[in-house]
């Protein structure tokens, strides 16, 4: 018996059948669907450009849905996408005959010679799908509105939820360049300092670069710490050094803070201006001049920030591929690992298994793109309950031992000053004020070392320990606050409130 929901190979819904009965053809672009699928099979760049834009339901023709599903599975498993692999995947899924056999796949590749304009074509396909979705939702709303038994406010809530689902599911947030973010934040930035050449990506920290020769391609680097230690501050400092001083592309994925807040932190840390000065704009002439000079340096920096919340590992891989292809990104930073989701079929299982999947895919991404991937990670509360030294251990890595296994480098941030310890637990018993330690606990291709760094809490930045303070740092009224660790003002603080220099922060107050 013929299925009423299928019309000559096209999967249609109730609203579509209504449109056909009325003589209207649902919005579609079958010719573009075929061109896009053909381009994806002949050019890897085509896959990278549109894999995170489209999904199977976006295709009007059912055969094209099956072909895209096959391409998606190959991409998800990091397998090559071409005519033969897609054919093999369709055979495995028992759908090759349903799409028209190898003849149909060959015809798709013959319709296009390159992946030029594929993203533009893909967005047209997506627009057609959104139009069909709106038609379907509208039909359902009309039908439900005639039902007198339903509460009108429930109808409004359901209608809003359905429209929101269409928006969230089909409009992907794109990465924003540093230039755009600086203009949005209306702030400026700092001087460029010289850095020593290394074989990898230089961090700007002399001893760390000497130990690692810079972050190496294909390495997965984990930087872990308890809240308030300065994970985001350290990573942002590295991102700034790499993008501004070394002029190398940086992709920063922030799952916790907005892109405007991150740029504002960079601006504040670079200029050293107090939150009150930023809020009121009462700057001296030389401060305005220096501010205008520094903002040009940041605007030209190849720094790209993506603040998509609850980012899945699949979306991260797709976005990273595009950034590496389009903007020559040389390093990827993620803040932070525990806020990511495995997504799709990989999301099943307990949280430990999900974290294992994420860490494994991060390592695979680093190898595929041949760039270092830095992922921040939280530590368990076992650190806090331990007596004596609070130095983190590898066993303190939260939720999964797979993180330790997959990482090439595991490092911890430790600041005894946070625990009100005045002296380091070494032979010299030197003071801990304004200092932190980057503990290299695992180094697959090198030695282990505890590297002391200078921590400037009120500016939210790290520096080489032997660097001298700049005049800007001396202007802050928060120098005597050892617990203003990562308390660099957010966008709201910088423009709308005055910080209380006498107020400390506990473990849960500081978001990084």
User: Residue 406: CB partners within 8 Å, gap ≥ 6?
Assistant: 220, 359, 360, 362, 363
| Token reading at 152 | 């009108």
Cα–Cα–Cα angle for 378, 383, 388, rounded to 5 degrees = 155
Return the number of other C-beta atoms located less than 10 Å from residue 7's C-beta. Answer: 14
User: Residue 408: CB partners within 8 Å, gap ≥ 6?
Assistant: 216, 219, 220, 221, 442, 443, 444, 445
Residue 345, classed as helix, strand or coil, is helix
Catalytic residue from among 57, 69, 256, 449 = 256
Catalytic, 190? Answer no
Residue showing tokens 């201006």: 273
CA distance 370 to 373: 9
CA distance 493 to 507: 19
Specify the pairing of strand 435-443 against strand 449-456. Answer: antiparallel
Specify the pairing of strand 249-254 against strand 329-335. Answer: parallel
Residue showing tokens 């000079």: 293
| Token reading at 415 | 């600041």
Closest CA to 272 of 468, 475, 457, 465: 475
Q: Which helix (H) or strand (E) holds 72?
A: helix 62-76
**Max intra-chain CA distance, the chain:** 87
**If you ran DSSP here, which 8-state letter would residue 469 be given?**
P
CA distance 401 to 8: 52
Return the number of other C-beta atoms located less than 10 Å from residue 360's C-beta. Answer: 18
CA distance 484 to 501: 8
Q: Which residues in 348-357 are b (16+ Cβ under 10 Å) and which e?
A: eeeeebbbbb
CA distance 188 to 270: 8
For the annotated catalytic residues, the residue numbers are 256
């Amino acid at each position: 018996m013929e299925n009423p929901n299928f019309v000559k190979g096209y999967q249609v819904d109730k609203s579509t059948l209504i449109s056909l009965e009325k003589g209207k053809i649902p919005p579609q672009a079958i010719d573009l669907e075929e061109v896009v699928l053909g381009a994806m099979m002949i050019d890897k760049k085509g896959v990278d450009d549109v894999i995170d834009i489209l999904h199977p339901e976006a295709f009007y023709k059912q055969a094209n849905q099956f072909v895209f599903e096959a391409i998606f599975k190959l991409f998800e498993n990091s397998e090559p996408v071409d005519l033969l692999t897609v054919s093999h995947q369709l055979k495995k899924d028992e759908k090759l005959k349903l799409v028209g056999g190898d003849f149909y796949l060959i015809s798709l590749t013959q319709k296009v010679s390159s992946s030029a304009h594929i993203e533009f074509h893909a967005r047209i396909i997506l627009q057609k799908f959104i139009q069909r979705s709106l038609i379907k939702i509208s039909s359902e709303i009309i039908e439900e509105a005639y039902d007198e038994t339903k509460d009108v406010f429930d109808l409004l809530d359901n209608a809003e939820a359905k429209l929101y689902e269409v928006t969230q599911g089909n409009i992907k947030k794109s990465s924003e360049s540093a230039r755009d973010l600086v203009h949005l934040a209306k702030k400026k930035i700092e001087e460029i300092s010289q850095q020593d050449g290394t074989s990898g990506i230089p961090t700007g920290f002399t001893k760390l670069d000497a130990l690692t020769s810079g972050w190496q391609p294909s390495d997965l680097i984990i930087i872990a710490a308890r809240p308030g230690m300065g994970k985001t501050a350290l990573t942002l400092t590295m991102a700034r050094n790499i993008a501004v001083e070394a002029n190398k592309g940086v992709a920063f994925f922030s799952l916790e803070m907005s892109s405007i807040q991150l740029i504002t932190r960079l601006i504040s840390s670079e200029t050293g201006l107090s939150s009150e000065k930023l809020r009121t704009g009462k700057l001296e002439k030389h401060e305005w001049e220096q501010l205008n000079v520094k903002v040009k340096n940041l605007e030209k920096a190849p720094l790209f920030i993506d603040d998509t919340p609850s980012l899945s590992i699949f979306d991260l891989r797709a976005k990273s591929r595009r950034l590496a292809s389009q903007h020559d990104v040389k390093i990827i930073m993620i803040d932070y690992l525990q806020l990511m989701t495995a997504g799709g079929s990989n999301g099943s299982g307990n949280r430990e298994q999900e974290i294992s999947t994420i860490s494994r895919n991060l390592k695979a991404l680093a190898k595929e793109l041949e760039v270092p991937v830095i992922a921040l990670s939280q530590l368990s509360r076992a650190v806090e309950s331990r007596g004596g030294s609070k130095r983190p251990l590898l066993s303190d890595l939260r939720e999964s031992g797979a993180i330790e296994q997959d990482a090439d480098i595991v490092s911890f941030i430790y600041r005894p000053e946070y625990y009100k310890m005045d002296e380091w637990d070494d032979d010299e018993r030197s003071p801990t004020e304004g200092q932190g330690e980057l503990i290299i606990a695992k180094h697959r291709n090198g030695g282990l070392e505890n590297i002391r760094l200078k921590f400037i809490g009120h500016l939210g930045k790290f520096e080489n320990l032997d660097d001298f303070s700049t005049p800007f740092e001396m202007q802050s009224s928060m120098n005597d606050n050892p617990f203003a660790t990562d308390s660099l003002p957010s966008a709201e603080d910088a423009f709308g409130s005055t910080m209380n220099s006498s107020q400390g922060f506990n473990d849960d107050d500081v978001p990084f």
